[in-house]
């Protein structure tokens, strides 16, 4: 119930219920929370109907209910009422207590009296003790039990400060105050001495607990003017009473105004539970609770702060410039609000709660800071990637580029960390920095390995090109010492590649062991190229041998194709050709990159080239050097063709080349048959001289001779007599005789056709055909004298009639 400006409100009712909501409303309306420590609490105690409410209303211009003098003296104020003093600075809260010794509660029920006295002492700076003047010095005075109650209550309070007890003597008589006061103080001392005290306060003087002040007022009923005047004087003492030396000058242990409501509630709760009231502990408790409340309120306001929420959202999508400053200032504003609101609370408590608030607030914003660090880290990694690529492209050494980029990126990261750092926090970004360093190292390592792989593959490609085909060509040319040439090529190209490779990897500053390993790998690769090529060629060894055989067998020393005239020593030529082929077999039997001497050629030559004699030797020696799968002094790794394989290859080779040799022999024999000895020509000249002269003298004979010659020649060509007789005279005669007549007929028919055509306007045509006939008819002779290629073993001869014949 609010009444007027003083907002008089019942704080505790007669049953002892605390009106918390009423108090909150009251404090809100008087704006006590803004006062900090600058407020005073005054309460009044005294016998029932002793004019307490009347005094307070006059002193503080409050509106406490007073007894209506015309209705008799009965209890007016029940419980405890609270109001604000009007016109007094600082803010003064006035409490009007239920009178003591009231007949309404009965003589024995002093519980509420004691509880309210204790409550008033605990929360008031000044307690007015209202007493009748005529009670002073009286043994059975009404104020004695009251004082006893007050002092006993004080023993339970452990108050850290001195409360002012202002004794207000009502209805003062003509006896001056100077005489009354010593008597009153004596009365008070007597009661103090009588009050049982705890051992620690046995000798404690009253003044150590209270400031005792005494004042006297005239009767309000009888001398109202004087009463008002004296009250006005008394009122002056309440102005700025909280200043040092004032009635409420001792501010130790004052609860901050914002905690007044909570503190009062707690005190009343403790009093009702009949527990001792330890005010210092209570003060700490109040500070703890209030500071916690304030801190929680700040934290929840921070969590929903618009600036913070906006910042938090921005952080999700990338780096936010000025993050550290913005966040620090938001946090700062809430921390300083907390500081302001808790300034009057216990220093220890508020600083503990401040730390707690700060740590909770930092906990709230920490994820955003971490996200920022994450952005910073990924941005730095990207920066490192691009700057490394640029530097490397410019031709700076890889290791040097990595070093300088790492240095600059890490220093940029450190700068970024300083920018996003929150002033209130001491978050250590070293873990993220370490992660960043690992990211950078991992990227550098992956680029290093990719670049090195590319270099390796470039040089491997180069080696494949510079060794592969040249090695193949060496095998093809089948020179004198194939492996010496290969070794020379291998050494030259490997040396060149190794020196280029060493320069290319120097920028990576690899340790000696790694670079040596890579160089060795490259050398091994070069070796493997040669070995692979040798292996490939060894798979085609038979072809190489036949090629070589064919080259030697079918060509003269000057590489011209050999024409079998009948004078050649085919046996010797065959032997030479086979020896050359055996050399090829020997070369392809094993890899000889190390240049170690071996006996492969010797073994092959002695076992395969010496013919039956060798076979005989082998039979006698009981051990065939080629009946083995390994070569002496050659490792299996270097073996391309085993001795056993060589033997079977040689057998196959002989079979396939025998045909070529036979062809050569046949050609030679044919040549020999058609050549007449010289004496035949001499005999013919001597014996046929007369006939020859006869023919020369008669011009008809040469003409007939010419015609006969041409006919015979045409028959020779058409019947391919040389070819027919190649398979023996009998089969030749049979074949020629069966084809003789049709051929003659054919020739005559052609001649007739030619003659007919000769008579027509385009008669020059036959002569051309005839010359063509002649020129073509000479060709087969040359062809039949050449030897077919051993490798193909199939030779196609083209005759004038267009018939294809397999020889």
Ligand X SMILES: Nc1nc2c(ncn2[C@@H]2O[C@H](COP(=O)(O)OP(=O)(O)OP(=O)(O)O)[C@@H](O)[C@H]2O)c(=O)[nH]1
Binding site residue list for GTP: 46-53
Among 105, 114, 170, 548, binds ligand X (CB under 6 A): 170
Tell me the C-alpha distance between 253 and 240, whole Å.
Answer: 18
Sign, CA dihedral 351-357-360-361, equals negative
- Select the span of 65-73, 391-399, 621-629, 684-692 touching ligand X (CB under 6 A): 65-73
Among 5, 20, 75, 773, binds ligand X (CB under 6 A): 75
Rounded to a whole number of angstroms, the minimum distance from the CB of residue 111 to Mg ion is 19
Tell me the C-alpha distance between 330 and 756, whole Å.
Answer: 126
Sheet with 163-170, strands from edge to edge, namely 9-12, 80-84, 91-97, 39-45, 126-132, 163-170, 210-216
- Number of residues written out for the chain: 807
CA 626 from centre of chain: 63
50 contacts which partner out of Mg ion, ligand X, none, CB within 5 to 8 A by kind?
ligand X
- Select the span of 72-80, 404-412, 463-471, 535-543 touching Mg ion (CB under 5 A): 72-80
* Total residues in contact with Mg ion, by rule CB under 5 A: 4
Binding mask 120-159 for ligand X (x = CB under 6 A): ----------------------------------------
Q: Is residue 232 at the binding interface for ligand X, with CB under 6 A as the rule? A: no
Assess contact for 272 and 79: CB atoms under 8 A: no
Q: Is residue 8 at the binding interface for Mg ion, with CB under 5 A as the rule? A: no
84 CB burial (10 A radius; 0-12, 13-18, 19+): buried
- Select the span of 77-85, 237-245, 254-262, 479-487 touching Mg ion (CB under 5 A): 77-85
Q: Is residue 164 at the binding interface for Mg ion, with CB under 5 A as the rule? A: no
Tell me the C-alpha distance between 751 and 769, whole Å.
Answer: 11
Tell me the C-alpha distance between 776 and 309, whole Å.
Answer: 106
Burial 435-452 (b: 16+ CB within 10 A, else e): ebeebbeebbeebeeebb
Cβ-based neighbours of 219, under 8 Å, separated by 6 or more? 170, 171, 172, 227
Q: Is residue 76 at the binding interface for ligand X, with CB under 6 A as the rule? A: yes
- DSSP letter assigned to residue 162: P
- Select the span of 213-221, 603-611, 619-627, 732-740 touching ligand X (CB under 6 A): 213-221
Residue with tokens 């004019």: 51
Considering the complex, state which of residue 96 and residue 493 has its C-beta at the smaller distance from Mg ion: 96
Neighbours of 140 (CB within 10 A): 7
Rounded to a whole number of angstroms, the minimum distance from the CB of residue 258 to ligand X is 31
Assess contact for 482 and 530: CB atoms under 8 A: no
Among 1, 17, 28, 69, binds ligand X (CB under 6 A): 69
171 contacts which partner out of ligand X, Mg ion, none, CB within 5 to 8 A by kind?
ligand X
Considering the complex, state which of residue 147 and residue 534 has its C-beta at the smaller distance from ligand X: 147
Considering the complex, state which of residue 43 and residue 660 has its C-beta at the smaller distance from ligand X: 43
221 contacts which partner out of ligand X, Mg ion, none, CB within 5 to 8 A by kind?
ligand X
- Select the span of 74-82, 395-403, 693-701, 730-738 touching ligand X (CB under 6 A): 74-82
Tell me the C-alpha distance between 546 and 585, whole Å.
Answer: 10
Tell me the C-alpha distance between 359 and 354, whole Å.
Answer: 8
Q: Is residue 220 at the binding interface for ligand X, with CB under 6 A as the rule? A: yes
* Total residues in contact with ligand X, by rule CB under 6 A: 19
75 contacts which partner out of Mg ion, ligand X, none, CB within 5 to 8 A by kind?
ligand X
3-state SS record for 553-567: HHECCCCCECCCCCC
Query: 87-116: which residues touch ligand X (CB under 6 A)?
Result: 99
Q: Is residue 221 at the binding interface for ligand X, with CB under 6 A as the rule? A: yes
Among 6, 8, 49, 62, binds ligand X (CB under 6 A): 49
Q: Is residue 76 at the binding interface for Mg ion, with CB under 5 A as the rule? A: yes
Considering the complex, state which of residue 42 and residue 463 has its C-beta at the smaller distance from ligand X: 42
Considering the complex, state which of residue 135 and residue 171 has its C-beta at the smaller distance from ligand X: 171
Q: Is residue 6 at the binding interface for ligand X, with CB under 6 A as the rule? A: no
Tell me the C-alpha distance between 49 and 57, whole Å.
Answer: 14
Among 6, 77, 159, 258, binds Mg ion (CB under 5 A): 77
List, as one string, the DSSP characters of 751-802: HHHHHHHHHSTTTTHHHHHHHHHHHHHTHHHHHHTSPPPTTT---EEE-TT-
Rounded to a whole number of angstroms, the minimum distance from the CB of residue 229 to ligand X is 13
Among 67, 123, 166, 587, binds ligand X (CB under 6 A): 67
170 contacts which partner out of Mg ion, ligand X, none, CB within 5 to 8 A by kind?
ligand X
Q: Which of 82, 77, 85, 81 has its CA nearest to residue 61?
A: 85
9 contacts which partner out of ligand X, Mg ion, none, CB within 5 to 8 A by kind?
none
CA 576 from centre of chain: 71
Tell me the C-alpha distance between 508 and 451, whole Å.
Answer: 10
Binding site per annotation, positions: 46-53
Rounded to a whole number of angstroms, the minimum distance from the CB of residue 250 to ligand X is 28
Rounded to a whole number of angstroms, the minimum distance from the CB of residue 331 to ligand X is 53
Assess contact for 562 and 660: CB atoms under 8 A: no
Dihedral pair phi/psi, residue 625, rounded to 5°: -60, -20
List, as one string, the DSSP characters of 423-486: TT----THHHHHHHHHHHHHHHHHHHHHHHHHHHHHHHHHHHHHHHHHHHHHHHHT-S-HHHHH
Assess contact for 98 and 78: CB atoms under 8 A: yes
Residue with tokens 């015979």: 712
Half-sphere exposure of 466 (CA within 13 A, CB side): 19
Considering the complex, state which of residue 49 and residue 638 has its C-beta at the smaller distance from ligand X: 49
12 contacts which partner out of ligand X, Mg ion, none, CB within 5 to 8 A by kind?
none
β-sheet bridge partners, residue 663: none
Rounded to a whole number of angstroms, the minimum distance from the CB of residue 51 to ligand X is 3
Rounded to a whole number of angstroms, the minimum distance from the CB of residue 172 to ligand X is 9
69 contacts which partner out of ligand X, Mg ion, none, CB within 5 to 8 A by kind?
ligand X
Binding mask 277-316 for ligand X (x = CB under 6 A): ----------------------------------------
Query: 42-71: which residues touch Mg ion (CB under 5 A)?
Result: 52-53
Among 2, 5, 13, 66, binds ligand X (CB under 6 A): 66
Rounded to a whole number of angstroms, the minimum distance from the CB of residue 134 to ligand X is 10
Among 53, 163, 266, 494, binds ligand X (CB under 6 A): 53
Rounded to a whole number of angstroms, the minimum distance from the CB of residue 352 to Mg ion is 43
Considering the complex, state which of residue 53 and residue 791 has its C-beta at the smaller distance from Mg ion: 53
Rounded to a whole number of angstroms, the minimum distance from the CB of residue 237 to ligand X is 19
Rounded to a whole number of angstroms, the minimum distance from the CB of residue 219 to ligand X is 4
Taking the chain, what is the end-to-end CA distance rounded to the nearest angstrom?
A: 141
Rounded to a whole number of angstroms, the minimum distance from the CB of residue 52 to ligand X is 4
Q: Which of 114, 82, 116, 72 has its CA nearest to residue 7?
A: 82
48 contacts which partner out of ligand X, Mg ion, none, CB within 5 to 8 A by kind?
ligand X
Helix (H, G, I), strand (E, B) or coil at 163: strand
Assess contact for 22 and 2: CB atoms under 8 A: no
Rounded to a whole number of angstroms, the minimum distance from the CB of residue 48 to ligand X is 4
Q: Which of 316, 299, 325, 414 has its CA nearest to residue 367?
A: 316
Q: Is residue 494 at the binding interface for Mg ion, with CB under 5 A as the rule? A: no
Contacts to ligand X by CB under 6 A:
48-54, 66-67, 69, 75-77, 99, 170-171, 219-221
Contacts to Mg ion by CB under 5 A:
52-53, 76-77
């Amino acid at each position: 119930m609010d009444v007027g400006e003083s907002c008089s409100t019942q704080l505790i009712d007669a049953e002892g219920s605390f009106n918390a909501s009423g108090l909150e409303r009251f404090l809100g309306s008087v704006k006590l929370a803004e006062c900090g420590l600058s407020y005073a609490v005054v309460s009044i105690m005294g016998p029932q109907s002793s004019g307490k409410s009347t005094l307070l209303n006059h002193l503080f211009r409050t509106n406490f209910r007073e007894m209506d003098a015309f209705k008799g003296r009965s209890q007016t104020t029940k419980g405890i009422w609270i109001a604000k003093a009007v016109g007094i600075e600082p803010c003064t809260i006035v409490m009007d207590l239920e009178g003591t010794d009231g007949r309404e509660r009965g003589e024995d029920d002093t519980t509420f009296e004691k509880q309210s006295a204790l409550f008033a002492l605990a929360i008031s700076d000044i307690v007015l003790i209202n007493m009748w003047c005529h009670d002073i010095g009286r043994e059975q005075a009404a104020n004695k039990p009251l004082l006893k109650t007050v002092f006993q209550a004080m023993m339970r309070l452990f108050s850290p400060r001195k409360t002012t007890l202002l004794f207000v003597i009502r209805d003062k008589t003509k006896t001056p105050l100077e005489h009354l006061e010593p008597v009153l103080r004596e009365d008070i001392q007597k009661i103090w001495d009588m009050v049982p005290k705890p051992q620690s306060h046995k000798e404690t003087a009253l003044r150590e607990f209270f400031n005792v002040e005494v004042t006297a007022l005239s009767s309000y009923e009888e001398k109202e003017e004087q009463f008002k005047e004296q009250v006005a004087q008394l009122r002056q003492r309440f102005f700025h009473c909280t200043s040092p030396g004032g009635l409420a000058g001792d501010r130790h242990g004052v609860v901050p105004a914002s905690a007044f409501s909570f503190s009062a509630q707690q005190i009343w709760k403790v009093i009702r539970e009949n527990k001792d009231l330890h005010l210092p502990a209570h003060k700490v408790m109040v500070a703890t609770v209030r500071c916690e409340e304030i801190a929680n309120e700040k934290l929840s306001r921070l969590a929903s702060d618009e600036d913070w929420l906006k910042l938090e959202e921005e952080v999700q999508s990338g780096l936010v410039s000025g993050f550290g400053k913005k966040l620090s200032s938001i946090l700062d504003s809430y921390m300083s609000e907390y500081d302001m609101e808790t300034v009057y609370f216990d220093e220890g408590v508020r600083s503990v709660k401040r730390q707690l608030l700060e740590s909770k607030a930092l906990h709230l914003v920490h994820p955003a800071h971490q996200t920022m660090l994450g952005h910073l880290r990924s941005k730095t990694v990207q920066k490192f990637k691009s700057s490394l690529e640029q530097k490397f492209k410019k031709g700076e050494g890889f290791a040097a580029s990595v070093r300088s980029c790492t240095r600059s990126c890490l220093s940029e990261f450190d700068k970024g960390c300083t920018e996003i750092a929150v002033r209130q926090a001491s978050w250590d970004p070293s873990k993220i920095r370490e992660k960043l360093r690992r990211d950078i190292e991992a990227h550098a390592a992956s680029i290093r390995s990719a670049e090195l792989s590319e270099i390796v593959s470039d040089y491997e490609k180069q080696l494949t090109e510079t060794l592969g085909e040249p090695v193949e060509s060496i095998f093809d040319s089948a020179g004198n010492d194939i492996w010496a040439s290969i070794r020379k090529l291998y050494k030259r190209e490997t040396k060149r590649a190794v020196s280029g490779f060493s320069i290319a990897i120097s920028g990576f500053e690899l340790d000696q062991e790694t670079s040596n390993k890579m160089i060795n790998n490259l050398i091994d690769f070069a070796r493997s190229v040669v070995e692979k090529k040798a292996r490939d060629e060894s798979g085609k060894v038979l072809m190489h041998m036949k090629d070589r055989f064919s080259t030697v067998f079918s060509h003269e020393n000057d590489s011209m194709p050999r024409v079998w005239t009948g004078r050649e020593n085919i046996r010797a030529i065959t032997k030479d050709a086979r020896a050359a082929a055996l050399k090829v077999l020997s070369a392809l039997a094993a890899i000889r990159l190390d240049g170690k001497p071996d006996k492969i050629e010797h073994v092959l030559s002695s076992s395969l080239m010496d013919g039956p004699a060798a076979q005989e030797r082998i039979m006698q020696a009981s051990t065939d050097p080629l009946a083995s799968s390994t070569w002496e002094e050659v490792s299996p790794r270097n073996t391309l063709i085993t001795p056993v394989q060589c033997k079977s290859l040689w057998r196959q080779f002989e079979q396939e080349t025998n045909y070529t040799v036979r062809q050569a022999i046949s050609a030679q024999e044919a040549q020999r048959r058609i050549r007449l000895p010289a004496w035949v020509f001499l005999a013919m000249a001597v014996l046929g001289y007369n006939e020859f002269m006869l023919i020369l003298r008669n011009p008809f004979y040469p003409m007939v001779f010419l015609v006969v010659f041409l006919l015979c020649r045409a028959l020779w060509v058409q019947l391919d007599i040389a070819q027919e007789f190649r398979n023996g005279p009998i089969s030749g005669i049979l074949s020629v005789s069966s084809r003789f007549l049709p051929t003659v007929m054919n020739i005559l028919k052609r001649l007739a056709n030619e003659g007919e055509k000769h008579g027509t306007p385009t008669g020059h045509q036959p002569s051309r055909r005839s010359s063509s006939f002649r020129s073509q008819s000479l060709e087969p002779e040359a062809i039949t004298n050449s030897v077919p290629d051993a490798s193909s073993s199939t030779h196609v001869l083209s005759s004038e009639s267009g018939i294809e014949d397999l020889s």
